[in-house]
Structure 1
Amino acid sequence: MKSDRAAYAVSQWKDEFPNDDFLAMELLGRLLEISQIVSQQHLQPLFASFGLHPGEFDVLATLRRAGSPYQLTPTQLFGAAMISSGGMTNRIDRLEKAGWVMRLPHPTDRRGTLVQLTDTGLTLINQILPVHLATEQSLIAGLSKDKQMALNELLQQLVAQLPESKA
């Protein structure tokens, strides 16, 4: 069995502060560790095998799930990705240089642009998606379907009750 770094850290804290409640620290520590393991050991290598960084996959996936004609404004992409507008510009620049997206003039806003998947970009995201889904499914396969659904519901409730960021 894998070592449980969150439990180990909390056991050390409890030795030092036996009257304090460390459940939140342990729970959030596990969520962070899961996120790091999934990202670094599973998703980043998967995306790299297709010549992408994770953020670039996010842009392609966001455009793809928007439906035909697979285009959004940079602001819509920026909102979906939760990164800085400069970071989004860099991602779009790299994807455009690779031929996976193109910038188009916005039809109703002379100052605006649309970012659209190219045929090559559409083919790429359509190739990656089944592999990505299979990877994610394999990562949670150790839990029964009922436990997966229960965990999903609990995490949904946790996200819903979190305070909005002031930043």
Structure 2
Amino acid sequence: MTTLFIKNMVCNRCIMVVQNELDKLDLSAISIKLGEVVFEKEPTIEEKQNLAEALSVLGFEMIDDKKSRMIEQIKNVIIDLVHHKDNDAKTNLSDILSEKLNHDYNYLSNLFSEVESTTIEKYFIAQKIERVKELLVYDELSLSEIAFQLNYSSVAYLSNQFKKTTGLTPSHFKQIKEDKRKPLDEV
């Protein structure tokens, strides 16, 4: 088995798009998940180049170096945690990342800061704020329900973090709703 790592896969739709490109190129994957595709046998150099070109047109990028792969894995764990899981776990982010990626959190944190020029914590907060924006736009949950769903200790803490990050209060954001959300790969 061999694994190819792909940058900018942030949602289930990305997985479907990558699957579609693999089908077009007649490449069969064992599994596809955020940031990675597993093949039973390694694709040829030509197949990899064709895949890289096809994915590049769609905003994806194949990752070769070890540091970039680890950064992408950190981002994918955080995105999955914030956007795709009903996160009722009260576990620390550092413990989750260490467990899922089999590395010491200090190593992951230093690597992330070195490559991304921001901290894992700031990235995590940015993802949570984007999720709050999404939920506010949907207008299906109250602010206290959103705070609970995203494991904020209080509505006040969520509101303060939201204002500090966006410059707006959640209620003001909800009023203007003029597409202030960013695509996840730009957070």
Q: What's the TM-score, normalizing by structure 2?
A: 0.30
Q: Which has the larger radius of gyration?
A: 1
Q: What's the TM-score, normalizing by structure 1?
A: 0.33
The structure with more helix, counted as a fraction of residues: 1
